[in-house]
């Protein structure tokens, strides 16, 4: 009977040591796991501060006498810069919120794991207390009185001391697990609060964007307020459109010349064959919208009745809606100007080029190879525009054509 009880104590000690090691290995693994780091959030916050600094510079420029002396088109360009930065701030906050959402999932897992570890330690501690209540004191006496001599007694006393130290470690482990649970819960709560602050800031930025867009729209409405300025604006748009078309044609010819030169060499011929070419069947460029507000061809001014040539179609869509490439191709222009705002031109390698204007931001730069359906930018109102929409043009062999014939 005595030997069985002694064996039971030894078995309990070994089991306790094993459970202890397993739990702390789990704690180490848990602390090592961190898919989202604070450095990533700090990087986004630094980026946010940089955007704010640049916006303050633009606002200072707007507040000067120099701004008041600018032409209305030049003013609109400055306001576009401010709108673009606000859009970048919104993107930054959205990315920050995404990180916080991932971080919260991780911290919820941390809390769950901490609670599980605490429960495991609690069960271990309760089992040990129950065992001590049932036969703890008797066991200690039996171990002592069962000794065969003085040296054996000392050894057994050391053994009892080891058991008591293990009991103390079990209790300390329970306390430590409880502390870890409290810390994990507080950390989760703090992260949730920080994410909510980012959501509030996001709502403020959207309100700020609406105010800035209205100020930009008002400038265009003022320009269109008189026939003289309307004619001047139209002539400027026509000239800019012609200039862009000449640039498109020149770049297409340049690409053809480069291909011809590469085709002369066998190694370069393979590279030319890899150049993306479109299918000739164009896809609708704004997946979220199918509403055309202005068609290709002659249109009449709503106030003065003046006839104007419109070289593309206008597609209404919400600010920030995705704009996709109508076909595979090669970006030959990606820039900003006062008439088209942010705009992109893609050469599809089969006689077709497509133009996407008034974008809030551009995802691709000149020289990029583009797949059909790839997001290249987002709907905006930069340039000469009184509301968010996409101005979309199609050219075939250097001449502008009605996009609806090929969509």
Instruction: Please tell me the least confidently modeled range out of 58-67, 140-149, 222-231, 264-273.
Output: 264-273
Share of the chain above pLDDT 90, in %: 21
Give dist(CA 399, CA 255) in Å, integer: 17
- Report residue 81 as tokens: 């810069």
Q: Is pLDDT above 60 for 243?
A: yes
Position 312 confidence tier, pLDDT thresholds 50, 70, 90: very high
315 CB contacts (<8 Å, ≥6 apart)?
Answer: 285, 286, 289, 291, 292, 293, 389, 390, 392
Q: Is pLDDT above 50 for 17?
A: no
Q: Is pLDDT above 80 for 141?
A: no
Which range among 118-122, 314-318, 338-342 has the greatest average pLDDT? 314-318
- Report residue 207 as tokens: 């309100």
Is pLDDT larger for residue 122 or for residue 294?
294
Do 348 and 328 contact (CB within 8 A), yes or no?
yes
The pLDDT, as a whole number, for residue 274 is 56
Give dist(CA 255, CA 262) in Å, integer: 10
Position 221 confidence tier, pLDDT thresholds 50, 70, 90: confident
pTM of the full predicted structure?
0.61
Cα–Cα distances in angstroms (integers) from residue 192 to residues 38, 104, 132, 172, 195, in the given order: 14, 7, 44, 30, 5
Beta-carbon-side half-sphere exposure of residue 314 (alpha carbons within 13 Å): 17
Q: Is pLDDT above 70 for 273?
A: no
- Calculate the CA 37 to chain-centre distance: 15
Q: Write the pLDDT tens digit of every residue in 34-58.
A: 466 777 778 888 888 888 888 888 8
Q: Is pLDDT above 90 for 9?
A: no
- Report residue 338 as tokens: 């006062």
Q: Write the pLDDT tens digit of every residue in 280-310.
A: 789 999 998 878 998 888 765 554 455 667 8
Residue carrying the six token digits 């040296």: 151
- For helices 72-145 and 38-62, what crossing angle results, to 10°? 160
Is pLDDT larger for residue 380 or for residue 310?
380
The pLDDT, as a whole number, for residue 125 is 62
Report the alpha-carbon angle 238-244-246, nearest 5: 105
Do 340 and 385 contact (CB within 8 A), yes or no?
no
Give dist(CA 277, CA 355) in Å, integer: 16
Which range among 120-129, 173-182, 233-242 has the greatest average pLDDT? 173-182
Q: Is pLDDT above 60 for 64?
A: yes
Q: Is pLDDT above 60 for 21?
A: no
The pLDDT, as a whole number, for residue 345 is 95
The pLDDT, as a whole number, for residue 368 is 92
Q: Collapsing DSSP states into helix, strand and coil, what is residue 368? A: coil
């Amino acid at each position: 009977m005595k030997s069985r009880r002694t064996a039971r104590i030894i078995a309990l000690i070994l089991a306790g040591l094993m459970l202890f090691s397993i739990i702390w290995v789990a704690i180490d693994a848990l602390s090592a796991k961190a898919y989202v780091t604070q450095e990533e959030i700090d990087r986004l916050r630094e980026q946010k501060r940089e955007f704010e600094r640049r916006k303050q510079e633009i606002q200072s420029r707007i507040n000067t006498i120099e701004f008041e002396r600018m032409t209305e088109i030049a003013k609109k360009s400055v306001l576009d810069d401010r709108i673009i930065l606000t859009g970048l701030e919104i993107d930054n906050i959205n990315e920050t919120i995404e990180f916080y959402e991932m971080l919260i999932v991780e911290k919820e897992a941390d809390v769950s794991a901490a609670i599980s570890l605490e429960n495991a330690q609690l069960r271990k501690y309760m089992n040990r207390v129950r065992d001590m209540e049932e036969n703890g004191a008797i066991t200690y006496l039996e171990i002592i009185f069962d000794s065969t001599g003085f040296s054996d007694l000392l050894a057994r006393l050391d053994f009892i001391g080891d058991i008591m130290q293990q009991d103390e470690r079990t209790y300390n482990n329970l306390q430590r697990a409880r502390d870890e649970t409290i810390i994990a819960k507080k950390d989760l709560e703090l992260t949730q609060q920080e994410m909510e602050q980012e959501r509030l800031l996001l709502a403020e930025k959207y309100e700020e964007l609406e105010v800035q867009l209205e100020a930009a729209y008002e400038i265009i409405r003022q320009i269109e307020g008189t026939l003289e300025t309307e004619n001047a604006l139209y002539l400027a748009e026509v000239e800019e459109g012609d200039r862009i078309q000449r640039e498109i044609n020149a770049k297409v010819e340049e690409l053809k010349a480069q291909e011809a030169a590469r085709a002369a060499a066998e190694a370069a011929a393979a590279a030319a064959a890899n150049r993306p070419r479109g299918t000739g069947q164009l896809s609708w460029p704004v997946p979220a919208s199918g509403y055309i507000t202005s068609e290709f061809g002659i249109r009449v001014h709503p106030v003065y009745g003046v006839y104007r040539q419109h070289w593309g179609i206008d597609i209404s869509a919400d600010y920030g809606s995705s704009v996709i490439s109508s076909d595979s191709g090669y970006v030959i222009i990606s820039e900003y100007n006062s008439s088209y705002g942010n705009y992109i031109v893609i050469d599809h390698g089969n006689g077709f080029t497509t133009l996407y204007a008034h974008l809030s931001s551009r995802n691709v730069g000149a020289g990029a190879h583009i797949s059909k359906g790839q997001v290249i930018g987002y709907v905006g109102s930069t340039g000469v525009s009184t509301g968010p929409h996409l101005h979309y043009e199609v050219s075939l062999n250097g001449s502008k054509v009605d996009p609806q014939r090929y969509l």
